[in-house]
A and B are shown apart, each in its own frame.
Chain A
Amino acid sequence: MAEPLRRSGARPGARAEQWAAWLLGLPAFLLMWAMLLGPALAVILLSFTDWSFGEAELRWHGLGNYLELWGDRVFWVSLRNTLIYVGVSVPATVALGLLAAILIEGAGRGRGLYRALYFLPVASTLLGMALVWEFMLHPRVGFVNQVVAALGFARRDWLNDPDLALLALAAIGVWQNLGLAMVLFMAGLQAIPADLYEALALDGADGAWERFRRITWPLLGPALVFVMAIMAIRSFQVFDTVAVLTEGGPQKSTEVLLYTMVQNGFTFLRSAYGAAITAVFLAFTLALTLAQTWLLERRAHYG
Chain B
Amino acid sequence: MASVSLEGIGKRFGATPVLQGVSLDVADGEFLALLGPSGCGKSTLLRIIAGLEGCNAGTVRLDGQDVTELPAKARNLAMVFQSYALYPHMTVRRNIAAPLELRRLSAWRRPPLPGALLPSARAIRAGIAAEVAQVAESLGLSALLDRRPAQLSGGQRQRVALARAMVRRPAAFLMDEPLSNLDARLRGEAREEIVALQRRLGATVIYVTHDQAEAMAMADRVAVMQAGRLLQVAPPQALYDAPASLEVARFVGSPPMNILPARIGLGGRVEVEGVALPFHGPACPGPRLGVRPEAWALGAEGLPARLSRIERLGAEAILHAALAGSGTVVTVRLAPEQAAGLSPGQALHLTPRAAHLFDEEGLRRPLHATLPQHADHG
In whole angstroms, what is the CA distance A204 to B77 when docked? 10
B79 closest partner in A (C-beta): A202
| Shortest CB distance B86–A (Å) | 8
| Shortest CB distance A138–B (Å) | 47
Residues on B with beta carbons closer than 8 Å to the beta carbon of A215? 87
Tell whether, in the assembled complex, residue B148 and residue A302 are in contact, meaning their CB atoms are under 8 Å apart: yes
Tell whether, in the assembled complex, residue B81 and residue A199 are in contact, meaning their CB atoms are under 8 Å apart: yes
A195 closest partner in B (C-beta): B85
Residues on A with beta carbons closer than 8 Å to the beta carbon of B85? 193, 195-196, 198-199
Query: What sequence of 0s and 1s flags, for each residue 188-223 of chain A, a beta carbon within 8 Å of any chain B beta carbon?
Result: 000001011011111111100010001100110100
Q: Is B124 an interface residue when CB atoms closer than 8 A count as contact?
A: no
The 8 Å CB contact of A302, one of B73, B78, B88, is B88
In whole angstroms, what is the CA distance A112 to B73 when docked? 31
Name which of A196, A202, A214 has the most chain B CB atoms within 10 A of its CB: A202
Interface of A is mostly: helix
Residues on B with beta carbons closer than 8 Å to the beta carbon of A214? 87
In whole angstroms, what is the CA distance A214 to B73 when docked? 15
In whole angstroms, what is the CA distance A200 to B103 when docked? 11
Q: Is A152 an interface residue when CB atoms closer than 8 A count as contact?
A: no
In whole angstroms, what is the CA distance A196 to B99 when docked? 13
Q: Is B98 an interface residue when CB atoms closer than 8 A count as contact?
A: yes
In whole angstroms, what is the CA distance A195 to B81 when docked? 8
Tell whether, in the assembled complex, residue A219 and residue B89 are in contact, meaning their CB atoms are under 8 Å apart: yes
Q: Is B52 an interface residue when CB atoms closer than 8 A count as contact?
A: yes
Q: Is B367 an interface residue when CB atoms closer than 8 A count as contact?
A: no
In whole angstroms, what is the CA distance A202 to B78 when docked? 6
Query: What sequence of 0s and 1s flags, for each residue 22-56 of chain B, a beta carbon within 8 Å of any chain A beta carbon?
Result: 00000000000000000000000000001110000
Residues on B with beta carbons closer than 8 Å to the beta carbon of A303? 88, 148-151
In whole angstroms, what is the CA distance A206 to B74 when docked? 10
Residues on B with beta carbons closer than 8 Å to the beta carbon of A205? 73, 102
Q: A145-199: which have CB < 8 Å to B?
A: 193, 195-196, 198-199
Q: Is A73 an interface residue when CB atoms closer than 8 A count as contact?
A: no
Q: B53-82: which have CB < 8 Å to A?
A: 71-73, 77-79, 81
The 8 Å CB contact of B81, one of A198, A206, A210, A302, is A198
| Shortest CB distance A295–B (Å) | 15
Residues on A with beta carbons closer than 8 Å to the beta carbon of B150? 300-303
Residues on B with beta carbons closer than 8 Å to the beta carbon of A200? 98, 102
| Shortest CB distance B313–A (Å) | 37
Tell whether, in the assembled complex, residue A203 and residue B88 are in contact, meaning their CB atoms are under 8 Å apart: no
In whole angstroms, what is the CA distance A191 to B83 when docked? 14
Residues on B with beta carbons closer than 8 Å to the beta carbon of A206? 71-73
With A215-B87, A303-B88 as given contacts, are A202 and B73 in contact (CB-CB < 8 Å)? Answer: yes
Tell whether, in the assembled complex, residue A193 and residue B83 are in contact, meaning their CB atoms are under 8 Å apart: yes
Name which of A196, A199, A204, A301 has the most chain B CB atoms within 10 A of its CB: A199
Tell whether, in the assembled complex, residue A201 and residue B72 are in contact, meaning their CB atoms are under 8 Å apart: yes
A194 closest partner in B (C-beta): B85
Tell whether, in the assembled complex, residue A203 and residue B52 are in contact, meaning their CB atoms are under 8 Å apart: no
| Shortest CB distance A225–B (Å) | 14
| Shortest CB distance B202–A (Å) | 21
A201 closest partner in B (C-beta): B72
The 8 Å CB contact of B50, one of A202, A204, A302, is A202
Query: What sequence of 0s and 1s flags, for each residue 94-127 of chain B, a beta carbon within 8 Å of any chain A beta carbon?
Result: 0000110011000100000000000000000000
In whole angstroms, what is the CA distance A196 to B84 when docked? 9
| Shortest CB distance B44–A (Å) | 13
Tell whether, in the assembled complex, residue A201 and residue B73 are in contact, meaning their CB atoms are under 8 Å apart: yes
| Shortest CB distance B79–A (Å) | 5
With A195-B81, A206-B72, A206-B73 as given contacts, are A201 and B52 in contact (CB-CB < 8 Å)? Answer: yes
The 8 Å CB contact of B87, one of A196, A221, A300, is A196
In whole angstroms, what is the CA distance A201 to B103 when docked? 11
Residues on A with beta carbons closer than 8 Å to the beta carbon of B73? 201-206
| Shortest CB distance B150–A (Å) | 3
B77 closest partner in A (C-beta): A202
Tell whether, in the assembled complex, residue B79 and residue A199 are in contact, meaning their CB atoms are under 8 Å apart: yes
Q: B108-164: which have CB < 8 Å to A?
A: 148-151, 164
In whole angstroms, what is the CA distance A198 to B86 when docked? 11
Residues on B with beta carbons closer than 8 Å to the beta carbon of A196? 85, 87-88
With A195-B81, A196-B85 as given contacts, are A203 and B164 in contact (CB-CB < 8 Å)? Answer: yes
Tell whether, in the assembled complex, residue B103 and residue A198 are in contact, meaning their CB atoms are under 8 Å apart: no
In whole angstroms, what is the CA distance A204 to B149 when docked? 21
A binding-site residues for B, Cβ under 8 Å: 193, 195-196, 198-206, 210, 214-215, 218-219, 221, 300-303
- Pairs across A and B, CB under 8 Å, 12 listed: A193-B83, A195-B83, A199-B81, A199-B86, A201-B52, A201-B71, A202-B79, A204-B73, A214-B87, A215-B87, A300-B150, A301-B150
